[in-house]
Structure 1
Amino acid sequence: MRTKIAAAICGVAATLAMAAPAAAEGETTTYRLGGANRYETAVAISQWAFEPGPGEEIPVTVASGVDFPDALAAGPLAAAEVGPLLLVPKDGVLPASVKSELSRLDPLWINVAGGAGAVSSLVESQLKDYDDVYRLAGRDRYETATELAFEAGGIDTTVFIATGASFPDALGGSAAAGRLGGTLMLTRSTSLPESTASLLKYGQPTKVVVLGGTGVISNSVISQIKSIVPGATVQRWAGNDRYATTAAISKNTYPQGSDVVYLASGADYPDALAGAPIAALDGGPLLLTRKECVPAATKQEIARLGATDVVVLGGTGVVSNNAANLRSC
């Protein structure tokens, strides 16, 4: 399979990415991957990254475009299989853009993240028109995350643990897990779910990274992790808010910097979710921004990385041109 990720930064797929004029030395070039809605944006990200050759088939992972819990752990799986993460509605007819992209990719198989409450049987039946479909789901978001994590692999290397109650910390962690060949699981605020604890015990990872501060994941969870995997290095990567936390994830994942950074809205999950596996495969972090301006933590991290290319995920309705051009808040 040939991916367009490396070439895209040089301007390939211009019909999908609206590129700014060439940057002078020390400046950044901005590319925007967006569509009229979250489904079209995920398709634009997929088209930017993947161009199957004759006879080539690409694994595809799909997740809900309307709710985040079952989707959060899907990014590392897509990255592990070197394929895109597309978004689908909970029920009803598949969007035309998604159908067209599935036809273009000719999937090797399709993973569905979550149970019928996230992606209905009707949607699953339409996905079967394109290839074999494998649903990865548990009784709740925590079990679903472990099913996705097990399928992704990396449970014996680096495991990221994010809160299952909200999405921001998991988005940056998803991209980092994909880059490091690890995986991501979810936890409650004060205690590990049984399914998460069981997979940690089974995998015995060498490193466990807890994402976010004590306001989202308490120290008691870290204590539980240490008792389950006593041989693992356990760290907390966190900042004062969602923007600073994703910056901390980036700094720890790319201590030597990166030429490229992916930038998505911190107010909602869909665009960042679809972009996370592509950021991982491209070797760049996923950072979050406000709609109208870039928070200080994000801007400082872009400067530290030495990034020369900024790939903005989503249209101007979620990330304005001011934010895309890195105007400070």
Structure 2
Amino acid sequence: MVSRAAFLSAPPSKAAVVASGTDFPDALAASSLAGHLNAPILLTDPKSLSNETANELNRLDANAIFVIGGNKAVSHNVENEIRATHPSATITRLAGSTRFDTAHSIYNELATLGAKPQTAIISTGFNFADALSISPYSYMQSAPFFLSSQSGLDEASLNTLRNFQTAIIVGGEQAVPTSVEQQLKSIGVSTVRIQGTTRYETSLEIGKFTLNNLSLDPSSVVYATGANFPDALSGSALAGINKTVLLLAQNDSSPTISASSMLPNVESVYVLGGQNAIGPATFNAISSSFGLSDREYVPQPTPNPQPEPDKPQPNPNNPVYGTHKAGQFCKKADLNKTDHDTRNGKLIVCKVANGDKQPRWHYV
């Protein structure tokens, strides 16, 4: 769904990046490659090609497909399935013996494709949060990731980094040790570290840096949970295509909720994942912060509800479900018509509310 939102039609490159949806380093490191190709990042089950990804590759008419990671990340079976369904496509696997080597292989492919980034991104290879937030920057600038361990950067990465002018270090010293700054200084690479007390504060600081450094004034913004990685992995392409930032949120008190002050012209907010990822209260806090009209239903305890005799009411034993969801677009022909939300049975109506440009289903 993220790919469809980012690419209404096939990108000119007809390219796609496929990575594992069960681990984060490969897909994160691939954001620079996807950005250079103007392509989506699609996630798959490691053992067999996920149906949704297979369908999206077909919709995009992909003829240049990059498989990221070794056999444990994306099995040969997945690669063979892609080859079978796209016999005329060029399929390239980028992999190394470790996640650090895979990130380096992605950079080498970037160089082969003619990309000449001047800025590199340094993040830990063992946690995802900070790298998720900087991934749209990587996408927009084709800025490659180099992964650090607690002992610093490996020799191969350092040798390659001699080609760069600047390195952005994301996260605090617990994530990327100070020795990395010393390593980079020794080879003449200037550094800037972006960090906060929590991953959510770091996400906000990375957002500010991205907006200021790239002189962006976006009309949209992307939110994802900071507690897990899959939704945001694909979200780097959506944010990158829209030249905006990806912000992590935990709850309605997360510091990123107030990001509307640094994004004054946002008209559309993308929230990635279902209510288990971003709950209704957080969704509504984001919506309110940006002055948007859409709200999600927050379940409230209603002991012994008294049903209205002339109106069917949902209840746990006999819910009333319809065919639409609150927030979805609706047809002008359906204006003022009512239905029941497919997820919770609450009554919804098709209308144009304040902040809408076209009719949507809204909770009554």
- For Structure 1 versus Structure 2, the TM-score category normalised by the shorter chain is 0.7 to 0.9
After TM superposition, give the deviation of residue 126 of structure 1 in Å. Answer: 0.6
Q: Match for 1:250 among 204, 207, 213?
A: 207
Tell me, yes or no, if structure 1 residue 62 matches structure 2 residue 18.
yes
CA distance in 2, matches of 1:315, 1:260: 19
After TM superposition, give the deviation of residue 206 of structure 1 in Å. Answer: 1.8
After TM superposition, give the deviation of residue 300 of structure 1 in Å. Answer: 3.1
* Residue number in structure 1 paired with 2:59: 104
What do residues 135-166 of structure 1 show as CA deviations (whole Å, max 9, x unaligned)?
00111000101111232355641111000011
Number of positions where the alignment pairs a residue of Structure 1 with one of Structure 2: 277
- The higher relative CO (CA closer than 8 Å, separation ≥ 6) is in 1
Tell me, yes or no, if structure 1 residue 219 matches structure 2 residue 178.
yes
User: Given that residues 162 and 210 in structure 1 are in contact (C-alpha distance below 8 angstroms), is that contact kept between their aligned partners in structure 2?
Assistant: yes
CA distance in 1, matches of 2:61, 2:121: 31
After TM superposition, give the deviation of residue 286 of structure 1 in Å. Answer: 0.6
What do residues 25-51 of structure 1 show as CA deviations (whole Å, max 9, x unaligned)?
xxxxxxxxxxxxxxxxxxx01111213
User: Given that residues 187 and 196 in structure 1 are in contact (C-alpha distance below 8 angstroms), is that contact kept between their aligned partners in structure 2?
Assistant: no
What do residues 74-106 of structure 1 show as CA deviations (whole Å, max 9, x unaligned)?
1121111001000011103x2222221111111
Tell me, yes or no, if structure 1 residue 309 matches structure 2 residue 268.
yes
User: Given that residues 156 and 206 in structure 1 are in contact (C-alpha distance below 8 angstroms), is that contact kept between their aligned partners in structure 2?
Assistant: no
* Residue number in structure 2 paired with 1:262: 222
After TM superposition, give the deviation of residue 132 of structure 1 in Å. Answer: 2.3
Q: Match for 1:190 among 133, 141, 151?
A: 151
Q: Match for 2:100 among 139, 142, 150?
A: 142
User: Given that residues 155 and 183 in structure 1 are in contact (C-alpha distance below 8 angstroms), is that contact kept between their aligned partners in structure 2?
Assistant: no
After TM superposition, give the deviation of residue 123 of structure 1 in Å. Answer: 0.7
User: Given that residues 57 and 105 in structure 1 are in contact (C-alpha distance below 8 angstroms), is that contact kept between their aligned partners in structure 2?
Assistant: no
Q: Report SS of the residue matched to 1:198.
A: helix
Distance 1:136 1:299, change over 3 A: same
CA distance in 2, matches of 1:178, 1:137: 19
Distance 1:294 1:309, change over 3 A: farther
What do residues 44-75 of structure 1 show as CA deviations (whole Å, max 9, x unaligned)?
0111121336x966200011001122222011
Tell me, yes or no, if structure 1 residue 326 matches structure 2 residue 291.
no
After TM superposition, give the deviation of residue 180 of structure 1 in Å. Answer: 2.8
* Residue number in structure 1 paired with 2:30: 74
Q: Match for 1:127 among 64, 82, 85?
A: 82
* Residue number in structure 1 paired with 2:131: 170
Which sections of structure 1, spanning at least 5 residues, go unmatched? 1-43
After TM superposition, give the deviation of residue 326 of structure 1 in Å. Answer: 2.5
Q: Report SS of the residue matched to 1:72.
A: helix
Question: TM-score by structure 2 length?
Answer: 0.72
Which stretches of structure 1, 4 residues or longer, exceed 6 Å deviation after superposition?
none
Question: TM-score by structure 1 length?
Answer: 0.79
Rg larger in 1 or in 2?
2
Tell me which amino acid in the other structure corresponds to 1:175: P
* Residue number in structure 2 paired with 1:160: 121
CA distance in 2, matches of 1:76, 1:51: 21
Distance 1:150 1:248, change over 3 A: farther
Q: Match for 1:277 among 213, 237, 258?
A: 237
After TM superposition, give the deviation of residue 260 of structure 1 in Å. Answer: 1.7
User: Given that residues 13 and 37 in structure 2 are in contact (C-alpha distance below 8 angstroms), is that contact kept between their aligned partners in structure 1?
Assistant: no
Q: Report SS of the residue matched to 2:285.
A: coil
User: Given that residues 27 and 41 in structure 2 are in contact (C-alpha distance below 8 angstroms), is that contact kept between their aligned partners in structure 1?
Assistant: no
User: Given that residues 224 and 232 in structure 2 are in contact (C-alpha distance below 8 angstroms), is that contact kept between their aligned partners in structure 1?
Assistant: yes
Which sections of structure 2, spanning at least 5 residues, go unmatched? 289-364
Q: Report SS of the residue matched to 1:190.
A: coil
* Residue number in structure 1 paired with 2:344: none
CA distance in 2, matches of 1:302, 1:137: 39
Q: Match for 1:206 among 137, 162, 165?
A: 165
After TM superposition, give the deviation of residue 317 of structure 1 in Å. Answer: 1.9
After TM superposition, give the deviation of residue 177 of structure 1 in Å. Answer: 1.5
Distance 1:78 1:208, change over 3 A: same
Distance 1:156 1:78, change over 3 A: closer
After TM superposition, give the deviation of residue 293 of structure 1 in Å. Answer: 2.5
User: Given that residues 46 and 84 in structure 1 are in contact (C-alpha distance below 8 angstroms), is that contact kept between their aligned partners in structure 2?
Assistant: yes
Distance 1:308 1:294, change over 3 A: farther
